[in-house]
Amino acid sequence: MKRIAVLGATGSIGTSTLDVIARHPDRFRASVLGAHRNVAALAGLCVAHRPELAVIADPALEGELARRLGAAGVRCAVASGHAALTAAVSGALCDTVVAAIVGAAGLDSTLAAARAGKRLLLANKESIVLAGPLLLEALRAGGGELIPVDSEHNAIFQCLPGGRPDLRASGVRKLILTASGGPFRGRTRAELATVTPDQACRHPKWSMGRKISVDSATLMNKGLEVIEAHHLFGAPADAIEVLVHPQSLVHSLVEYADGSVLAQLGNPDMRTAIAHALAWPERVAAGVAPLDLAASGTLQFEAPDLATFRCLALAFQALLAGGDAPAILNAANEVAVEAFLAGALPFLAIAEVVEAVLAELPPQAAVDVESLVARDGQARATARRLLRRAC
Ligand code: NDP
Ligand code: MG
């Protein structure tokens, strides 16, 4: 029986994870559930899944959570604050941690799970973009393992021999990440000037949280995933390619020296990657309909439009710049996306803010978590200053 901590339980990945867990009560148990402020949803999940511990990150809501659980007759421990999240993933209540908090807010708990030697199911890509080498070092020190949940990386993991081998020794030539292209594929810059947050969040294939939906619309999501793939699989930037594939059925591919290209396919439903990561190296049902290729029509592939969707080019640039440039990119993007979602920044200005922050803060060596967190803060402050000037 795997005892699983689900952080970001109330989100899109969190609820999909709990759906898969509930299908296999003989194998999986959700022992810890964590959320930020959505106390009503967290209490509802506790009623359904009966964890041993529920953690709400906002300390002001701990009493409210306890009251709701008491009224519902749920007997589970309640805690609050980010320190409680990191303690929960480090302690004896779980052997597996699903890191599904959105943004850099997930860094501490992701690192803590790695240091504690847990099996880390990583959805929170921002934490590996921010602190890739430190996260890998924490994993080595903890002796645990990381199984990618992000569908592209999960697909690559499935197409590599033994999951995460030495790429060169295995004859791997290239990792090819597919991108849906988002809701604005094919649009010109002029057409993108006035798009709204609701339009950006209306993804044609995937149902996701609002931040990643905007990242998907700007192609920053793919940029973050390029950096994620670099760290996860030890691939240099020039061995990672992005291919737009609007049908979202081929989740990524690996090209080998002999010309073979292996791909992983499936319907666009995160429960497949989640079930794979939960059960690996075994396989379990995910509740996802079988892929009907005969009915799915033509599969298209095309090069991304880097001139229109500049965030992808900026992410490659940050990866090549090295040091803490990816952390700067990520922090500036989080601030810009928040402003766009609040209606305070035009869509195209997201890339402009990220580019300006990268230009103001030349990369420094990423030596430890404290200095990275400080640089993340500096990048956020710089982005906010630029936003104030722009508005
Ligand atoms: P959602 O916005 O749907 O959910 C975010 C979750 O994180 C919620 O449970 C939220 O709690 C919690 N959270 C937010 N801020 C904090 C905080 N400061 N402390 C603790 N918890 C916090 O996001 P998604 O599920 O879409 O994405 C989660 C992560 O997974 C992201 O990193 C994303 O890039 C990645 N991912 C998502 C995919 C998807 O299909 N959705 C696919 C691949 C990767 P509350 O509800 O209380 O606010
Ligand atoms: Mg993805």
pLDDT digits (tens, 9 = 90+) for 354-364: 999 999 999 99
Q: Is 206 in the pocket of ligand 1 (CB under 6 A)?
A: yes
Residue 3, classified by CB atoms within 10 Å of its CB into exposed (0-12), middle (13-18) or buried (19+), is middle
Atom 32 of ligand 1: nearest residue by CA position: 124
Q: Is 123 in the pocket of ligand 1 (CB under 6 A)?
A: yes
Report the separation in Å between the CA atom of 34 and the middle of ligand 1, taken as the mean of its atom positions.
11
Ligand 1 atom at minimal distance to the Cα of residue 16: 25
Atom 21 of ligand 1: nearest residue by CA position: 36
pLDDT at position 168 is 87
pLDDT 10s digits, 119-154: 999 999 999 999 999 999 999 999 999 999 999 999
What are the Cα distances from residue 160, in Å, to 43, 51, 172, 258, 263? 40, 35, 8, 14, 10
Average pLDDT over every residue of 349-375: 96
Q: Is 311 in the pocket of ligand 1 (CB under 6 A)?
A: no
Best of 36, 210, 376 to mutate for ligand 1, by most ligand atoms within 8 A of CB? Answer: 36
Average pLDDT over every residue of 211-238: 97
Q: Is 308 in the pocket of ligand 1 (CB under 6 A)?
A: no
Intra-chain end-to-end CA distance of the chain, in Å: 53
Q: Which fold has domain 156-267+300-390?
A: Rna Polymerase Sigma Factor; Chain: A (1.10.1740)
Ligand 1 atom at minimal distance to the Cα of residue 150: 43
Best of 7, 10, 13 to mutate for ligand 1, by most ligand atoms within 8 A of CB? Answer: 13
Q: Is 334 in the pocket of ligand 1 (CB under 6 A)?
A: no
pLDDT 10s digits, 270-286: 999 999 999 999 999 99
Domain boundaries, the chain: 2-148, 156-267+300-390
pLDDT at position 178 is 98
Q: Is 14 in the pocket of ligand 1 (CB under 6 A)?
A: yes
Average pLDDT over every residue of 221-249: 97
Asked if domains 2-148 and 156-267+300-390 share a fold, the reply is no
State yes or no: ipTM above 0.90.
Answer: yes
Average pLDDT of every residue of the chain: 96
Average pLDDT over every residue of 33-41: 98
Ligand 1 atom at minimal distance to the Cα of residue 42: 47
Q: How far apart are CA 321 and CA 326, in angstroms?
A: 8
Q: Where are the alpha helices (DSSP H) in 143-196?
A: 151-159, 189-192
16 marked as binding residue: no
The CATH code belonging to domain 2-148 is: 3.40.50.720
C-beta separation of 250 from 159 below 8 A: no
Percentage of the chain with pLDDT > 90?
A: 95
Best of 6, 12, 107 to mutate for ligand 1, by most ligand atoms within 8 A of CB? Answer: 12
What are the Cα distances from residue 93, in Å, to 66, 87, 90, 159, 276? 19, 10, 8, 32, 22
Average pLDDT over every residue of 244-259: 97
Q: How far is residue 129 CA from its own chain's centroid? A: 10
What are the Cα distances from residue 353, in Å, to 129, 192, 346, 387? 18, 16, 11, 8
Q: Which ligand is nearest to the CA of 124?
A: 1
Backbone angles phi, psi at 366, to 5 degrees: -95, 90
SS3 state of residue 251: strand
Atom 31 of ligand 1: nearest residue by CA position: 102
Report the separation in Å between the CA atom of 121 and the middle of ligand 1, taken as the mean of its atom positions.
14
**Sorting pLDDT into bands at 50, 70 and 90, what band is 316?**
very high
Could you identify the residue written with the tokens 């798009």? 195
pLDDT at position 165 is 79
pLDDT at position 366 is 84
SS3 state of residue 99: strand
β-pairing, 250-256 vs 261-265, is: antiparallel
Report the separation in Å between the CA atom of 77 and the middle of ligand 1, taken as the mean of its atom positions.
23
37 marked as binding residue: yes
Q: Is 125 in the pocket of ligand 1 (CB under 6 A)?
A: yes
145 marked as binding residue: no
User: For residue 192, how many other CB atoms are within 10 A of its CB?
Assistant: 18
C-beta separation of 55 from 29 below 8 A: no
DSSP 55: E
Write down the pTM of the prediction: 0.98
pLDDT at position 164 is 74
pLDDT at position 163 is 66
Would you say residue 391 has pLDDT above 70?
no
Atom 43 of ligand 1: nearest residue by CA position: 150
Atom 42 of ligand 1: nearest residue by CA position: 150
